[in-house]
Amino acid sequence: MFDLTGRTALVTGASGGIGAAIARALHGAGATVGLSGTRVAPLEALAAELGGRAHVLPCNLSDAAAVEALPKQAAEAMGSVDILVNNAGITRDNLFMRMSDDEWQSVLDVNLTSTFRLCRGVLRGMMKARWGRIVNISSVVGATGNPGQGNYAASKAGMVGMSKSLAYEVASRGITVNCVAPGFITTAMTDKLNDEQKGKILTQVPAGRMGEADEIAAAVLYLASAEAGYVTGATLHVNGGMAMI
Partner 1 sequence: MSDIADRVKKIVVEHLGVEEDKVTENASFIDDLGADSLDTVELVMAFEEEFGIEIPDDAAETIQTFGDAVSFITKAA
129 touches partner 1 (CB under 8 A): no
Nearest distance in Å: CB 71, partner 1: 15
Provide φ and ψ at 151, rounded to 5°: -70, -50
175 touches partner 1 (CB under 8 A): no
Judged by CB under 8 A, which of 49, 76, 169, 227 binds partner 1? 169
Task: Report whether 36 contacts 59 (CB < 8 A).
Answer: yes
49 touches partner 1 (CB under 8 A): no
The per-residue b/e assignment along 86-95, b for 16 or more CB within 10 angstroms, e otherwise, is: bbbbbbbeee
Q: 23 among the known binding-site residues?
A: no
To the query of whether residue 168 is one of the catalytic residues in this protein, the response is: no
Task: Name the active-site residue from 152, 168, 222, 230.
Answer: 152
Judged by CB under 8 A, which of 127, 193, 218, 243 binds partner 1? 127
Which residue, 145, 148, 230, 208, is CA-closest to 181? Answer: 145
Round to whole Å and give the CA distance between 231 and 245: 17
Question: Which range of residues in 43-51, 80-88, 123-131, 182-190 is near partner 1 by CB under 8 A?
Answer: 123-131
Which residue, 83, 31, 34, 76, is CA-closest to 54? Answer: 34
Q: 154 among the known binding-site residues?
A: yes
Question: Which range of residues in 51-59, 100-108, 159-167, 168-176 is near partner 1 by CB under 8 A?
Answer: 168-176
3-state SS assignment for residue 180? strand
Summarize as ranges the residues that interact with partner 1 (CB under 8 A).
124, 127-128, 169-170, 172-173
Indicate which residues carry an active-site annotation. 152
